[in-house]
Structure 1
């Protein structure tokens, strides 16, 4: 590979510096750098971040290639500034064996737009009754370290305890979809004033909070790691804060859409706003932002959930739950956290690159922008502001809640080990 000189970028939002890439690694970071024959990227005024890492992505392959594939999903990831994503296990067949996780892992390697780390199912078929082949998935070529039945809750306390005990042996983590199923039967949206007025089945906050409370206590008892997927309520924040104060090994994520959108949008009955967990209240949104800023919530994860047109363009009750998010995540975080003064760009790097890579043990990702480190990088035009047009998405699906909405920031370049996957906003 030829050398690349990124000139005048604000590294992590700081003072302008030059970054010289040689092959797959960063050769030097400083001012006034030069390199004969290097490709020069003029980055004045733009922010350079380590490549983003998403701990919660649905790539749908195998089985639902009508909504997304590893190829289209990783192209969407590169467009959004991601160099690594963790692919959830709720595929068809379920990623509950070494064979399936290896298939997903190798597809990621073949396509090359970002690294794909499969997440293994906790239970066979996501059915919650019998532990899946956790050890075999960990020892496979995919080297699985994160396990989740996301889309379904591991609601049996005995099964959850056994999973926590099992992954402890090799330093793995169980990522819980916190949803008490008995409390959410027939639920369509957040339980509250809006659900009562619309006559839609309510999804109470306690359905999430009760599972989180149970699981942090189980993690403490076992001495294992638990990660809370898509935390969405103010009460959940307080439980995680309490658990961390006790020294319990718990981490938590929040999605971009839960940082910005509220259940008031459901008044439109537009199924694009139907998601699991549901959009909550303004009070919850503010609590989530504050918790992300103070570190109670560790990371931002997209929960990128693509669906084909026919699964969303229907009446509310029949519509699938989920939103695409890889290509808009950084813009939403800029809108809600940076432009509001709650985080600086170094804080964004910590929550969207360093920490998710640490939780998921993504080798070579979430590394400092410094000499000798892998050249996994994202360049952002933070001054840009424009309307979201899903017609231009790289994802196979278009179920975004932001269509027509003006958002700040635009990823212009992404490099994966020194190879450009996105140049001037266009995939290579």
Structure 2
């Protein structure tokens, strides 16, 4: 295949110009201006479109095994492709938990038939109970790309530190869900003005902040590569910034919903705006954006969390937390960050391509000769409306939103896996 006339933006090589790209057997073989087509070569004219490395999401829930009425590996991969993602990393809080080699291998084997790259984390503790550490060595050998008990915080500091030390010995990331349950009455709802209006006792930011403070220091002491997941508090951002200055190998994820919405979205969208950690104040949102701008937050991850309509139809305090995110992520990044002047398109893509690839040692995230032919092709200035979802679920507060950044193609391994 020959990709012609596309505007190539690649954060790794800092390329920002019109280039043609030749693909053979799923690999990039040539990048140059004005390439001439060869006999039998498929030509894709990308005039007016931007071509970037395929997006990489470090934090998704495909609910497989055990909760496949919400999502499964196949529908999750379709949602990812529609959103421009060619690589995703699945969390371990499935049923059963990914705490055994058998469960891990089952997922990875079934993922091989899908059209995108699907990677899988293993849990830190057996059954996500935070008490007994899984066999990191065996799970790493079987293909785990990292370790996390996402969904459940590691409340025991000693256990968390020992897990960090083990992950450090393997040179693998450990990702942490930061909430101290002792402060929380109802999760998924910020304790603030909106919760007071709703008459609900919610989850204060301090529940996250005390855990982030602890784990920043544990990261510094252990030398581990630590990821603070779905950061929601401005104070947490400052704690990560300080830990980085001290020399900790610490990273942070921001979700599109946390840099786009505030707690007030609950009044408009109800349970569709309930997520864990919750949406917080405008000040927190601005601090997250500042953290993205200065590199404190180096990853944009969706925390794609599909749920059924019946589950989200429950009362606010009973409905599960989480929203689908793969299909709206790029659009929200362009609309909320690039068009608002906070980030350049290059800076946005850095946090969605090369940074996650580097952190998890993945082969994608760059457009260069001999790299995988994984691309997202889009028009950053073209508007589109959030309507239908490829995911099994549609639990999103962004339904009906008009966003910039319409995706025209997703290409993975040199194959068109989404066309819109």
Which of the five TM-score ranges fits, normalised by the shorter chain?
Answer: over 0.9
Equivalent residue runs for 1:71-90 within 5 Å: 71-90=74-93
Does the 8 A contact of 2:187 with 2:276 survive in 1? no
Aligned counterpart, 1:139: 141
Query: What is the Cα deviation at residue 348 of structure 1?
Result: 2.1
Equivalent residue runs for 1:105-184 within 5 Å: 105-111=108-114, 113-140=115-142, 143-184=143-184
Equivalent residue runs for 1:232-311 within 5 Å: 232-268=232-268, 270-311=270-311
Equivalent residue runs for 1:274-423 within 5 Å: 274-362=274-362, 364-367=363-366, 369-389=367-387, 392-423=388-419
Query: What is the Cα deviation at residue 269 of structure 1?
Result: 6.2
CA–CA distance in structure 2, aligned partners of residues 370 and 225 of structure 1: 27
Cα root mean square deviation, aligned: 1.3
Aligned counterpart, 1:24: 26
Does the 8 A contact of 1:187 with 1:201 survive in 2? no
CA–CA distance in structure 2, aligned partners of residues 116 and 237 of structure 1: 29
Structure 1 pair 30–269 and aligned structure 2 pair: CA distance change class (3 A):
closer
Q: Which moved more, 1:215-224 or 1:317-326?
A: 215-224
Unmatched tracts of structure 2, length 5 or more = 11-15
1:100 aligned to 2:106?
no
Aligned counterpart, 2:8: 11
CA–CA distance in structure 1, aligned partners of residues 211 and 275 of structure 2: 19
Unmatched tracts of structure 1, length 5 or more = none
What's the TM-score once normalised by structure 2's chain length? 0.96
Aligned counterpart, 2:64: 61
Does the 8 A contact of 2:252 with 2:298 survive in 1? yes
Q: Report SS of the residue matched to 1:342.
A: coil
Query: What is the Cα deviation at residue 188 of structure 1?
Result: 4.7
Does the 8 A contact of 1:230 with 1:254 survive in 2? yes
Query: What is the Cα deviation at residue 372 of structure 1?
Result: 2.2
Q: How many residues align?
A: 414
Query: What is the Cα deviation at residue 371 of structure 1?
Result: 2.1
What's the TM-score once normalised by structure 1's chain length? 0.94
